[in-house]
Structure 1
Amino acid sequence: MAANEQLIKIFEYALNQEKTGLSFFETSLHRLGIGAAVTAFKKLIEEEKKHVIFITNIINDLKQGGDISVKSIESVTITPTNFFDERAKSEFMAQSVEQAMTPDISVFHTAMLIERDLSAFYARMAEQLEEKKAKEAFKMLSNWEKGHERFFAQIHEDLVKEYEGMPWGG
């Protein structure tokens, strides 16, 4: 298999994984009944859509010309997002505990695992590949996903602590 074909296959796999994660986040909106969580997920969904565009642009470059253009790499700028500001996070935590929204724990845990897996995959590809622009693209993707993973890990950890501290049984 030619190097270009191999890169296309790797980016197509990445695209499929991004779409799977995006689908999970969109479906999870229906499980989350709290405004702050829904707002955070909507922001994340918009970022994930940018990842899909980013990877799609790279695949198109590879299929058309055999090389990733700098324009494709620079086409999607994702600035770090504070999905919850402190007030929204505080309200979310209070509402979660008040309404005993235990599904939130599994949603945030699953989201964290999705982001962790993607980040690790992208980091491995950045290390293994020799093509400079592909390495750069995978480093960017890995960093974006690490930020999402940290967000979900923190919310998951906070929710677990809240639920563990609840006076169960009245």
Structure 2
Amino acid sequence: MEPSTDIGKLLRYALRMEETGRDFFRENSKKFSHGGVVEILERLASEEEKHIEFIKELIVGLERGQDFSTKEDLGTGPGSFFSQRADSEKLDQTALESMIPACTVLRMAYLIERDFVDFYQKLAQRAKGKLKKALLMLSRWEREHEKFIKGYHDRLLDQYVHMPWGG
């Protein structure tokens, strides 16, 4: 099997993973009435949409034998999610919601992003040149999402376990 064929299959698999992640975030954002969790999930769905478009470009480039894009930034990362103040306010709003479902969904979101990090790093090990660079970039973007979600989840869970009334 040619390396490009193998990479092409893996990129199509990555595309499907990103679509599944986007759908998970969209569907779960509808389960909450307000607060930070809704905004986080909607933003993550939007970020995954950017990743989907980027991967589609990689697939087309691979199929045409073209050089790959190495966009340095698609507007991803924790800085584009919220300012510090907005992040804090959203955590306070979430305390008004049922916190157990919010923590559970955020945990799943974290695991999805963590899996993406590992997947893109392994895929990059099979690639060369600009494609490798693009895959490592995707891994870095997912790592930023992972860290942001984990921090938010951990703060929310800590707030929940310290509530005298149980959330």
Do the two structures share a fold, i.e. TM-score over 0.5? Answer: yes
User: Number of aligned pairs?
Assistant: 165
Q: Corresponding residue for 1:166?
A: 163
How far did 1:15 drift?
Answer: 0.6
After TM superposition, the structure 1 = structure 2 runs for residues 53-64 of structure 1, keeping only pairs within 5 Å, are 53-63=53-63
Can you give the 5+ residue segments of structure 2 that lack an aligned partner in the other structure?
none
After TM superposition, the structure 1 = structure 2 runs for residues 11-160 of structure 1, keeping only pairs within 5 Å, are 11-63=11-63, 65-67=64-66, 69-70=67-68, 72-74=69-71, 77-82=74-79, 83-126=81-124, 128-160=125-157
How far did 1:110 drift?
Answer: 0.4
Structure 2 Cα separation of the partners of residues 62 and 54 of structure 1: 12
Comparing 84-93 and 12-21, the one that deviates more:
84-93
> 1:71-111 deviations in whole A, cap 9, x for unaligned?
x3339633534323233222222222233332110111000
> 1:34-60 deviations in whole A, cap 9, x for unaligned?
243322322222221110000001111
C-alpha contact 2:35 2:94 (8 A) present in aligned 1: no
The AA in structure 2 aligned to 1:88 is A
Structure 2 Cα separation of the partners of residues 129 and 39 of structure 1: 36
Residues 44/66 of structure 1: CA separation in 2 closer, same or farther (3 Å cut): same
Comparing 43-52 and 13-22, the one that deviates more:
43-52
C-alpha contact 1:34 1:92 (8 A) present in aligned 2: no
In the superposition, the TM-score normalised over structure 1's length comes to 0.87
Structure 1 runs of 4+ with >4 Å offset: none
Comparing 72-81 and 35-44, the one that deviates more:
72-81
RMSD: 2.0
Comparing 38-47 and 104-113, the one that deviates more:
38-47
Question: Which secondary structure does the structure 1 equivalent of 2:33 belong to?
Answer: coil
Identity among equivalent pairs (%): 38
Structure 1 Cα separation of the partners of residues 158 and 72 of structure 2: 40
Residues 75/147 of structure 1: CA separation in 2 closer, same or farther (3 Å cut): closer
Structure 2 Cα separation of the partners of residues 31 and 158 of structure 1: 20
